[in-house]
A and B are shown apart, each in its own frame.
Chain A
Amino acid sequence: MADPTEITTRGAWGPGFWAKFVATGLLLAVVVPVLNLGISPNSFAAVPDYIVPLLGKYVCYAILALSLDLIWGYAGILSLGQGAFFALGGYCMGMYLMRQIGTRGVYQNPILPDFMVFLQYKELPWFWYGFDHFTWTLLMIVLVPGALAFIFGWLAFRSRVSGVYLSIITQAMTYALLLAFFRNDMGFGGNNGLTDYKDILGWDVHSPATRLGLYVASVLGLGAAYLICRYVTRSKLGRVLLALRDAESRVRFLGYSVTNAKLLVFTLSAVLAGIAGALYVPQVGIINPSEFSPGNSIEVAIWVSVGGRGTLVGAAIGAVLVNLGKTWLTGAFPESWLFVLGALFVVTTLIFPRGVVGLVHQLRWLRPRGESAPTPVEDKPIAAEEQA
């Protein structure tokens, strides 16, 4: 159950909130670049170049986690297919990046990406048209995941599929997409996916400056996603969602359309996940069907529950903490990672049902202090640099 004090707090847009929000934003979007560019690389506080895309990756995961918390924490929709929307956004960006390669590919075909030449495509499939334009790509990043979520959600919510059944069909959806994208004749590079990118908007994707730019863009994306989620969850619609999470039929008898409310928030969540995926792909340099694997989507639910479901801030923190742990453990003890992940899920569910944020709230409670408004503590990526 989500912490009521946080959810029902009104006047959530006071100066206190903005101060914390701007401070966190500056820390992430200004301090990190300064520590990367502005000081000597030998200084102990310096952020080395290779850390920047790693931080950027964590920030994208944080956006993905926010998108799940919006529907799971506030509307009780546990989507275990959130990774599918992330991957679709990623594929849109990947298609743009492939079209930017042009004649610099191995086969030097000005139109067709390498894998198409290799698979003996005669011409560009129709759905690749337009992806040489960045604005078209941006449009598709929003529309493709949004449209899939809208159609899927409309079918599911209209027939009142909810709870564990909805979770299972979202898993089936992402698994079906995984199988489809594995096929070479789908036109998305099959097993290998899309990779070997050269540049984005004319900047070399491998240069440290571009990577820093992508990192800052991701931080701005996280900030915007957080504000949107905060707005929605604190609006009257947010209260309708919370009400339907607890007593769905009662909301219907009050005259609200449960289907429309769920559909709106589910589609919004998919769009946010797609944007996260689009920011992610140029920073990791590849998108392939494994991003659709059901396990990925389940992991997102673990991030959210570790951080604290129904808190937004917690989701972002959880994504960063769990992925820090993953980066470290898969390096140090590769075979233990999955056990740790499973144990983490069990422990947080049983012992800390409110996650890290809930724990912080409890600790604060012990100390004599007046107001305990939740802080947007997305400053955790900084911890990444200390660890690394």
Chain B
Amino acid sequence: MTETADARPARDVLLYFNGVTVSFDGFKALNDLSLVVEDGELRTIIGPNGAGKTTMMDVVTGKTRPDTGQVYFRGSEDLTKLDEAAIANLGIGRKFQRPTVFENLTVFDNLDLALAGSRSTWRTLFARSDAARREKIDMTLSRIGLLAQSGSLAGALSHGQKQWLEIGMLLIHDRQLLLLDEPVAGLTDRETEETAALILDLARDRTIVVVEHDMAFVRSLGARVTVLHEGSVLAEGSIDYVQNHPRVIEVYLGR
């Protein structure tokens, strides 16, 4: 393990990367990565381009299979053996770098698809909407500030609104672990502040891993920071600790 700056009470481990390596044509996107995320934690992950941040999320969500290593969820479940849908149904949600909402569906329908419920193809064929579902969707809509847009097409939303809708889709499913890939990319300062508040609010009752470039935003989250470099962990600790870490400074400024 990498040296850490602070000692904290031990909590249950939610996500555990054990020596994960992913290579694309000889380039090692992840190089023997070992990483622990505790239950209930808010964790930010930073690192220069090509450090393996997005690949790490791809491995957790089943999009990419590692060459070696395991990723354990809740101690027992090896995520590298499951497909995307099965992983999602374990309670792991992901927000993509570019906001991806279903543009040809209404805001309401976007949340309806994300809301927990049977995912079986047959059941969806005969599914009925009910008042409890609608109420829950409306509650989420007001939480992400899109109640007025409920009936409009998601494609007609602004960039920031799409980001929130996507977070709302993760929120409504009651995920245990949320992976947010650059949630404030392309947002205005005001939207960035609102997003930080939303993430802190969400972090009270779930585990969140945020990948981000924006250092001011990372600082405003006030969470434990992991620095990735060339596919493995370079440093881990508070934002002040990693920003003063000599290797981190070298990696960020040295090239």
| A1 and B104 contact, CB distance less than 8 A | yes
CA distance A86 to B141 in the complex (A): 46
A37 close to B (CB within 8 Å): no
11 A-B Cβ contacts within 8 A? A4-B155, A235-B124, A236-B112, A246-B103, A246-B104, A249-B63, A252-B84, A254-B173, A260-B121, A263-B121, A264-B125
Q: How far is the CB of A209 from chain B (nearest CB, A)?
A: 39
Of the listed stretches B17-25, B87-95, B192-200, B218-226, chain A binds B87-95
B104-142 Cβ-contact flags toward A at 8 Å (1 or 0): 111001001110000111101111010000000000000
The answer to whether the Cβ of A240 comes within 8 Å of any Cβ in the partner chain is yes
- Whether, in the assembled complex, B100 has its beta carbon less than 8 Å from a beta carbon of chain A, the answer is yes
Question: Do B93 and A253 have beta carbons less than 8 Å apart?
Answer: yes
Chain B residues near A253 (CB, 8 Å)? 61, 84, 88, 93-94
A201 at the interface (CB under 8 A from B): no
Chain B residues within an 8 Å CB radius of A257: 85, 119, 121
Give the nearest-CB partner of B128 in chain A: A236
Contacts A247-B100, A249-B84 given; does A254 touch B113 at CB 8 Å: yes
Interface residues of A in 217-270 (CB under 8 A from B): 232, 235-237, 239-240, 242-243, 245-247, 249-258, 260-261, 263-264
| Residues on B with beta carbons closer than 8 Å to the beta carbon of A249 | 63, 84
- How many pairs of residues, A versus B, come closer than 8 Å at their CB atoms? 90
Mostly helix, strand, loop or mixed at chain A's interface? helix
* Residue pair B100, A235 in contact (C-beta under 8 Å): no
Q: How far is the CA of A26 from the CA of B114 in the complex (A)?
A: 42
Chain B proximity mask over A258-295: 1 for CB below 8 Å, otherwise 0: 10110110000000000000000000000000000000
Interface size class of B (residues with CB under 8 A): 20 to 34
The interface size bin for chain A is 20 to 34
- Write out the residue numbers on chain B whose beta carbons fall within 8 Å of the beta carbon of A263: 121
Instruction: Tell me whether A235 and B127 are in contact in the complex, defined as CB-CB below 8 angstroms, given that A242-B104, A255-B119 are known contacts.
Output: yes
Distance from A181 Cβ to chain B, minimum over Cβ atoms (Å): 32
Answer yes or no: B241 CB below 8 A from chain A CBs: no
**Neighbouring A residues of B173 by C-beta, 8 Å:** 254-255
The verdict on A8 contacting chain B, using a C-beta distance below 8 Å, is yes
Q: Are B153 and A254 in contact (CB under 8 A)?
A: no
Q: Once the chains are docked, how many angstroms separate the CA of A256 from the CA of B88?
A: 9
User: Is the C-beta of B227 less than 8 angstroms from some C-beta in chain A?
Assistant: no
CA distance A264 to B119 in the complex (A): 14
A242 touches B125 (CB 8 A): no
Asked whether B121 lies within 8 Å of A246 as measured between CB atoms, the reply is: no
Asked if A235 meets B103 with Cβ closer than 8 Å, knowing A253-B94, A255-B85, A257-B85, the reply is: no
B102 at interface (Cβ–Cβ under 8 A)? yes
Cα-based distance from A31 to B105 in the complex (angstroms): 39
Give A2 Cβ to nearest chain B Cβ, in Å: 7
* Chain A residue with Cβ nearest B96: A250
Does B51 belong to the interface (CB within 8 Å)? no
What residue of chain B has the Cβ atom nearest to residue A5's Cβ? B153
Q: Is the CB of B114 within 8 A of A254?
A: yes
Give the docked Cα–Cα distance between A96 and B32 (Å): 64
Q: Does A7 contact B (CB under 8 A)?
A: yes
Any chain A CB within 8 A of the CB of B169? yes
Smallest CB–CB gap between A351 and chain B, Å? 22
Give residues of chain A (1-18) contacting chain B, Cβ–Cβ below 8 Å. 1-2, 4, 7-8
What residues of chain B lie closer than 8 Å to A258, measured between beta carbons?
A: 85
Known A-B contacts: A235-B126, A252-B84. Give 20 more (CB < 8 A).
A1-B104, A8-B104, A8-B109, A237-B125, A239-B109, A239-B112, A242-B102, A242-B105, A243-B105, A246-B104, A247-B101, A250-B96, A251-B113, A254-B113, A255-B89, A255-B173, A258-B85, A260-B120, A264-B122, A264-B125
Instruction: For the complex of A and B, list the 4 residue pairs with the smallest distance between their C-beta atoms, beginning with the closest.
Output: A255-B88, A252-B84, A236-B127, A260-B121
| Chain B nearest Cβ from A330, distance in angstroms | 38
CB distance from B96 to the nearest CB of A (A): 7
**Which of A2, A245, A254, A256 contacts B169, CB < 8 Å?**
A254
Which B residues touch A256, using CB under 8 A?
A: 85, 113, 119, 121, 124
> In the bound complex, what is the Cα–Cα distance between A246 and B126 (angstroms)?
22
Do residues B104 and A250 form an inter-chain contact, with CB atoms below 8 A? no
What residue of chain B has the Cβ atom nearest to residue A243's Cβ? B102
The contact of A243 among B94, B113, B120, by CB within 8 Å, is B113
Q: CB distance A236 to B124 under 8 Å? A: yes
- CB contacts (< 8 Å) of B122 on chain A: these are 264
Known contacts A239-B109, A239-B113, A252-B85: does B125 contact A247 (CB below 8 Å)? no
Residues of B within 8 A of A260 (CB): 120-121
Distance of A66 from chain B, by nearest CB (Å): 18
Contact B169 A7 (CB under 8 A): no
| Cβ contact within 8 Å between B85 and A237 | no
Q: Is the Cβ of B102 less than 8 Å from the Cβ of A236? A: no
Q: Give the residues in chain B near A7, CB-CB below 8 Å.
A: 104
Query: Contact mask B152-172 → A, CB, 8 Å, 1/0?
Result: 010100000000000001000
Q: Whole-angstrom distance from the CB of A107 to the nearest CB of chain B?
A: 49
Q: Given the interface contacts A4-B153, A254-B114, A260-B121, does A246 sit within 8 Å of B102 by beta carbon? A: yes
